Amino acid sequence: MTLKRLLWPLLALGLTLGGMSHASDRSASADDEHDPFLWLEDIHGDRALDWVKAQNARTEQQFAASPSFEHTRERILEVLDSDARIPYVTRKGDYLYNFWQDQAHPRGLWRRTTLAEYRKAAPRWEVLLDVDALNAAEGKRWVFKSVECLKPAYTRCLISLSPDGGDAVAVREFDILSKSFVEGGFALPVAKSEVAWIDENRIYVGTDFGPGSMTRSSYPRIVKEWRRGTPLEAATLVYEGRPEDLAVSAFHDRTPGFERDFVLVATDFFHARHYLRRPDGLVQLAVPDDAAAVDAHREWLLVETRTPWTVGGHSYPGGALLAIRFEDFLAGKRDFAVLFQPDAHTALASFDWTRHHLILDVLDDVKSRLEVLTPPSAGNDWQRAPLAGAPAMSTVHVVDTDPDTIDEYWLTVTGFLTPPSLQRGVLGEGEAETIKQSPAFFDAAKFQVSQHFVASKDGTRVPYFEIAPKDLKPDGAHRTLLYGYGGFEVALLPSYSGSIGRAWLERGGVYVVANIRGGGEYGPRWHEAALKANRLRAYEDFAAVAQDLVRRGITSPKHLGAEGGSNGGLLMGNMLTLYPQLFGAIASEVPLLDMRRYTRLSAGASWIAEYGDPDDPAQWAFIRRFSPYHHLKPGMPYPPVLFYTATSDDRVGPVQARKMAAKMQAMGYQDVWFYENLEGGHGAGADNRQSAHMHALVYEFLWDRLQ
């Protein structure tokens, strides 16, 4: 059972219940007193929503009322709704489970099948939960978020449903055999909850137990053990964190012979304490608080370092993966085996256990290769062998394994011009076989992928991928879309997008992905290079890529657009305000922008470890340098900009985009556009049609303004 950051998918730009603020105890600043747009922070206030409706109407009339928009949206929707897409699966016992959305089932079907059926071109699926039917019966608009089933039988599950696509969810116990929710079973109202099975009659639960039970970042501060048939208020306390902690969670490892309970206390986004829960209390594991991952699998303990660690007379670099027998570690031994050690070109993307082996996914200059490691029966001599990798300029990724019974693994292989394939293999039984293949949604034969490197302002070598027509002439006249993220150690890897192919490449555009610092393309060092006071390094990298595209004759500033979302939306805000001369149009989606108040908005307090604390004057001095909201000035040559967000986004929240657009318009900038979807949470789309509408709006805006 992994102790990797279980909350990572939610913590990567947060989790909250919405509203105006979750850090109201933090003191107001002088900047607040002079901010005339604070009223837009009232997310559901009548005045704010009236403003949103007016902005939406203006943007829709300008960019969504044309036949071109309708064509683009429908072409994207065909991709998202296509029955020929790969139905990715997760194994639970004897069945393969899948969640599926299409035109007939916009909110989706949770279903399962057998391996024998899945091999067929048209598998027969057993539908377990029809979310659209549930919504019709209950008069709701539930969005399926996640499910956790109790192994090894996998007949009881905890299903999380969001009322609007945000991260706050209702949790209900579901019986697979009867295909119904369990009357009188485990159930929680809508809140930011973390749940995990212990056994058929007990679960771990972290939720909103009442005033003071959540952290300042609005995550569960308290985790309890809840027994079936008892009221939630009678649940037994397991651990109570501090208000300033980020989140607390617990889980039980049910592996026969290795049953263990763990408590994870995230003190900030990159630091956590790991505890083994025993009948006589909690035992803290003596691993680095900043470990990127701590993983317990049967007799083994793995530690992935984020920064250098000296222990047991040995020094290990950041980004390394170390292994030791779990019981030996508890006994005080520290003779780790080094399973992976990074260099200037490589980083560990992920690792996954099968029953008897460990698969490493290694990035080599942002391209994938896989290795299979076999633990020793004694000593520390691990065996390793390569596993078939991906084609050039592609990504291969482990999407599922069976760590309990067999050495089954599932791989997806994809590239910018290579539709994804799904392969299944069993280690020791020959090469993996392709089970499913996605169709091509555009003619890739017309294009080519190339990787380039450019020196950033400080001389750092920054890679980027370019997808362009084979017959491209370097005349600087091509509409080019440059995409970036650059934060939270998230790597941007080669991947196929039918939407980008249809909405951008087929129209003659060039698409570019920048692997800037702040991401995880080269492991922790690449991320740490743009943390806090060094944040501007990420923006210098992105600007360097933009300048290189112009230097190479791919495009020119008036034809160069930029796009990014979430932390990438903050990147876009800084491109707008710090480098306006480099771009012809910018799309900033679900963005952070007001870095003075970000810790008071939605889940912002959870990202202090990434950006710094603006309430500390010393830190605000460097944060202000990358706060787009505070860099805005009248009379500047800002390019056209579109801000896209969602009312139900309870991570970043919609208010930062609202305020940025309103402030720019008040300064007299006319080519400033805003659109806010009601549903969809941080993804800005609750179903495929909403997602298609959002993507089409962005592409139509960019294509129109980059003429």
d(CA 37, CA 35): 5
CB atoms within 10 A of CB 352: 21
Buried b (16+ CB within 10 A) or exposed e, 620-654: bebbebbbbbbbbeeeeebbbbbbbbbbbbbbbbb
Residues 339 and 301 sit within 8 Å (Cβ to Cβ): no
Exposure string of 367-385, with b = 16+ CB inside 10 Å and e = fewer, is bbbbbbbebeeeeeeeeee
Rounded to an integer, what distance in angstroms lies between the CA atom of residue 36 and that of residue 422? Answer: 52
Phi and psi of 74, rounded to 5°? -70, -35
CB-based contact 373:396 (threshold 8 Å): no
Active-site annotation, residues? 566, 682
Q: Which helix (H) or strand (E) holds 134?
A: helix 131-138
For the four alpha carbons of 122, 128, 131 and 136, in that order, the dihedral sign comes to positive
Tell me the sheet residues that pair with 397.
412
Peptide bond before 152: cis, by omega within 30 degrees of 0?
Answer: yes
Contact 441, 434 (CB under 8 A): no
Q: What is the residue type of 661?
A: A
Strand bridging mode 260-268 / 418-426: unpaired
- Determine how many CB atoms are found less than 10 A away from the CB of residue 440: 15
